[in-house]
Structure 1
Amino acid sequence: MGSSFLGTSLLSREGTAWLAIVVCASWQAIAFNTIIYISGLQTIPEEVYEAAAIDGTTPWQKFWKISFPLIAPFFTINMVLCMKNFLMVFDQIVSMTNGGPNQSTESISILIYKAGLAGNQFGYQSANSVIYFIVIVAISVFQMKFLNKREVQL
């Protein structure tokens, strides 16, 4: 009378191996993200919340009209760092599946690593690494430009 889904390892099936990797990477990232947001919330002066309370704002309005716009710089840097970290996921995959089963969890970083070192394609994978770097920088710059529009100066 057990669950067949949890009866075997999530890492042993092609369809669920990525789910296990995503859960592990997310669990590791939550603590860092929480620290960034808490530090952002601590920079908001208490007088702003007092003025909002006098104006009769609801907690939802207080979040959307005061808190979130004032922590937008922290949100921006957090989104850029998270995107970079999740695009470059390497250590979780190597330690949990090494790209398996049947290469279902192989990321670009793992592909560059395996083909470059084990496959003796040093030059080709160096070129792939440079292109991968350019793609990550381009995504980060796009995020910065897009998210900086939301930032409010106090």
Structure 2
Amino acid sequence: MVSHAQGIGNVGNILEDKKGQRQGRRLVGIVDRDKKFHEQPYLAQFTLVVGGGKGPTDTHCIYQHPERTDQYIIVLNPACDLWLLKAARQAQLPLDEMGVPTELESFKDFSKQNGVTKNPKMRELLWRIQQARPPMYRELAEFVASIMDIAPPRYL
């Protein structure tokens, strides 16, 4: 199941919720690198398990809850909108032909629209990134597949 929660505080609240504490239920939250990460009380408990995610070439880092070891947080570096734009460029997608903004500020506006997860252009962008499997996407997809016990993505 995929659930979209706007804002780092809401992601933390969902993970902390009793539903998120059910035995055997694995949860993966994805948030932007944000100074608010450690200000959210529940997320502050998570410990770094993969990467540092702060350098210019680091695309993410992964945290795990020390007691609820089936809960993870992927912290994207840079923020999600720029991460998506970089992944699209790495995949050499024709954003202009897809009707998706190619400049960062316009892309940020596009990606922050209300209901963007239902926007056909955003859905196509995400699908094409998934199909192209650029390296920055592939690493995260393989990690999520491994902890969720699902078949790893196949590469052409």
TM-score of the two chains, using structure 2 as the length reference: 0.28
Q: Which structure has the larger Rg? A: 1
Higher relative contact order (CA 8 A, sep 6+): 1
The TM-score normalised by the length of structure 1 is 0.29
Kindly indicate which of the two structures has a greater share of residues assigned to helix.
1
Q: Name the one with the larger strand percent.
A: 2
